[in-house]
Structure 1
């Protein structure tokens, strides 16, 4: 027989245990209570109920033995009448003789058999004659029959003479107390877990760029301390983001002013040989400033709203066609989603522009996921990106090898901005090999 290693046992147990804090906290309360209830019930039945039942059965067996021996000493109808009357008055036993009868051949026993086993042992220790009994035919009585030379002596005894019939009351009270204690524990745990869930929801919303009001921490002292620390951290991060955005906006404005003067002077200057190159350099400088500012600003200040996915993809397709590549759109006309339109439009523009820069054919498609989420795919037939460089391509200011130098007019922020937008919506972007032969950028956003 092959033994399961402790490590395998640990893995199997880990898979079966609940993963949520609510489930684990509930298990911490419920499991000890159930173990305690089983242990107390077992100890009660083993040390008390069975002992009491055995004593009662022994007493009943002694009374039956007395009645049988008294009758065998004087097996006459008058003697039987006296014995039956005395047994009825003092022992609550009903005794009758079934002449020329034999014991039944069938044996009826209870499903558990504790009472039958104890009663059988008691009768066997007190009676020398063959006997038969039935504890199931009459709910409130026990039927005991003893074989005598004259026939079968039948004794009907109240069930409480052989069994401790009130034991179930203890079990009922134990169950009621357990349910009450577990109910109080569940309410307390739920209140504590709810405080942690509220903190997690606030952290997730902040990670998506959503602005929420400060909430009043509640729950245990440690949970309140964590919630207070989170809100203070959120305020510090928000101040840092606002300061960075303001700084870059100011720098952008300061850079645009001399850039505008250069454009004006270049437009007023007489034609010369380097004019076209200078215009190209100024266009690239302006594009770089726009990308820096967009990366720093992110999605600040924009609220989600219902947006037509078809309109977004068709707008991106128009940009692809203006860049000189062919564009194909595959999306249901009535598909909508709750998005930050400007941020998502910029993410799609970055992906579509990147595809148009390196391929001649671009395909944009969208579909609903079985989970209710949204998937948008931008594909091209360009040279693609090596699989080991997929994550490197998302790093800000990353410039890959010349085989596919994305953002040739920018500074390597196109994919970084697109992923930041996707993650701000609770999703992500992954890269893969396209069916067209080039790169496939897949945006997945939960519903």
Structure 2
């Protein structure tokens, strides 16, 4: 259950791993210092001063004349480094307001309370170098001024300053170092994401630690291998499809010169089917070989163009596309993919619905129809190249060669998204193309 409260990003996790131990260590050292050393030293100093005050007070009470009291004050100044004056009009305040919020007073106050049997008052704030302590006597009050460093351990603030200063310095150095390391990983992730969306990311150069550089060079090598594979496959497919056109044209000319017969009609039908297949192969090759740069456009305009082309078939097409949705993508490729979805539905349905919607992370293009639909067990099979639909959706001879949905998913994945199929509430098939924002 604690996992949900931990940071999710690598930068935050590394910062937590590096910086948190530093501050925990410093906090532990601070606690040990103040709870043990500082408090112990201050307690000993305060107890010593309290004992000296008790001794001077007792000597003052036993003195028979002012001359003896002056001599006691001189001895206290010379031997104890404490200034002592007798003030017959001095008063001891009932409440020590100056000591209420001072951390120094707690230790000294406890020692004075244990040592003195007379009212007293202390002031640790009014004098920068001294601590003032007033002790009541029968005929007035003794006013003591003791040096602050003889009452408290005054090095605590310096210790805190260096402790906090070093913690902040170490934290800043760690953050700067980690930011540089994480930036290299983020650049690699951005380059991989861009390549997954069909962008080459040629400006990427591996930087950072040795392990990150190795991952970066491995990514570049993988990218080049994939590009070569796609180029070779595309060139081979386009070449084969193009070379088939020449003998196919000769066959068409030869058939045109033959008299009509059942066999000739069947051969002509096969030739037309072969032409459609070659056209589909060329469309697929053209889609993979496209070097179209991504551009920003209004999705509603693209959907309206596709709907206008679809309506020429005489079928009913409904469009629900908010004009506010804009996206960055390869426009021609996306138009071809959505057009394939619409045309696929138009072959088997009387009514087609095209809609778009946007969430926090995705833009969805949805094409639904009221046709016979597809067996759910074959939802994934129809995306494979050259796969025909079942009999319910294959009664029309213009059903295609099984490349339409392959191109659709290929375009969606080239943009970092995907295409899925499911049963539509309209009665037919529902195709959803989900693209990341």
Structure 2 residue 336 is the aligned partner of structure 1 residue 316 = no
* Contact map agreement 2:284 2:407 (CA 8 A) in 1: yes
Matched, 1:291 2:253: no
**C-alpha distance in 1, partners of 2:220/2:210?**
16
Structure 1 residue 150 and structure 2 residue 139: aligned? yes
1:345 paired to 2:335 = yes
TM-score, structure 2 normalization: 0.86
Q: How does 1:409-420 map to 2 (within 5 A)?
A: 409-420=399-410
Cα-Cα RMSD:
3.2
Match of 2:120 among 132, 143, 156: 132
Tell me how far 1:252 sits from its aligned partner: 0.8
- Give 1:78 shift: 4.4
In structure 2, the CA distance between the partners of 1:85 and 1:288, relative to structure 1 (3 Å rule), is same
Aligned to 1:8: none
The answer on whether the counterparts of 2:350 and 2:370 sit within 8 Å (CA) in structure 1 is yes
Q: Secondary structure at the match of 1:93?
A: strand
Deviation at 1:53, TM superposition (A): 1.1
Structure 2 residue 412 is the aligned partner of structure 1 residue 422 = yes
- Conserved in 1, the CA contact under 8 Å of 2:238 and 2:281? no
Where in structure 2 are the equivalents of 1:127-276 lying within 5 Å? 127=116, 129-135=117-123, 138=126, 140=128, 141-213=130-202, 215-273=204-262
CA distance in 1, matches of 2:137, 2:381: 99
Aligned partners of 2:353 and 2:255: how far apart in 1?
39
- State which drifts further: 316-325 or 347-356: 316-325
Q: Provide the secondary structure at the position in 1 that maps to 2:202.
A: coil
Conserved in 1, the CA contact under 8 Å of 2:423 and 2:430?
Answer: yes
Q: State how many pairs are aligned.
A: 433
1:134/1:361 CA distance change after superposition, 3 Å: farther
Deviation of the 1:195 alpha carbon: 1.8
Is contact 1:84-1:96 (8 Å) kept? no
| Distance (whole Å) between structure 1 residues aligned to residue 232 and residue 375 of structure 2 | 38
Cα deviations across residues 14-63 of structure 1 (Å, max 9, x unaligned)?
Answer: 22222222222222221111112112222322343222212221221122
Structure 1 length normalisation: TM-score? 0.84
How far apart are the structure 1 equivalents of 2:322 and 2:281? 34
1:434 match: 424
Residues of 2 paired with 1:142 and 1:446: CA distance?
70
Distance 1:320 1:281, change over 3 A: farther
Deviations 1:320-357 (A, max 9, x none): 33444211223356865332133112101210012112
Which residue pairs with 1:5 in the alignment? none
d(CA) in 1 for partners of 2:121 and 2:394?
A: 96
Whole-Å Cα distance in 2 between the matches of residues 156 and 279 of structure 1? 120
Which shifted more, 410-419 or 234-243?
A: 410-419
* Cα separation, 2, equivalents of 1:111 and 1:390: 75
Of 81, 93, 115, the residue aligned with 2:83 is 93
Contact kept in structure 1, 2:92 and 2:119, CA below 8 Å:
no
Specify whether residues 193 and 105 from structure 1 end up closer, same or farther in structure 2 by C-alpha distance, changes over 3 A only.
closer
- Ranges in structure 1 where 5+ consecutive residues have no aligned partner: 1-10
- Post-superposition shift, 1:313? 2.1
Residues 96, 122 of structure 2: 8 Å contact kept? no
C-alpha distance in structure 1 between counterparts of 2:112 and 2:159, whole Å: 28
1:347-386 correspondence to structure 2 within 5 Å = 347-367=337-357, 369=358, 371=360, 374-385=363-374
1:37 matched to 2:41? no
Once the two structures are TM-superposed, the CA of residue 244 in structure 1 deviates from its matched residue by 1.0
Residue 101 to residue 285, structure 1, CA distance change in 2 (3 Å): same
Distance in 2, Cα, partners of 1:414 & 1:75: 119
Structure 2 match to 1:3 = none
Offset of 1:410 from its aligned partner? 3.1
In structure 1, distance between residues paired with 2:278 and 2:293? 24
DSSP-derived class of the 2:199 partner: coil
Distance 1:318 1:121, change over 3 A: closer
Q: CA deviation at 1:421?
A: 0.7
Deviation at 1:172, TM superposition (A): 1.2
C-alpha distance in structure 2 between counterparts of 1:396 and 1:92, whole Å? 99
> After alignment, is 35-44 or 320-329 more displaced?
320-329
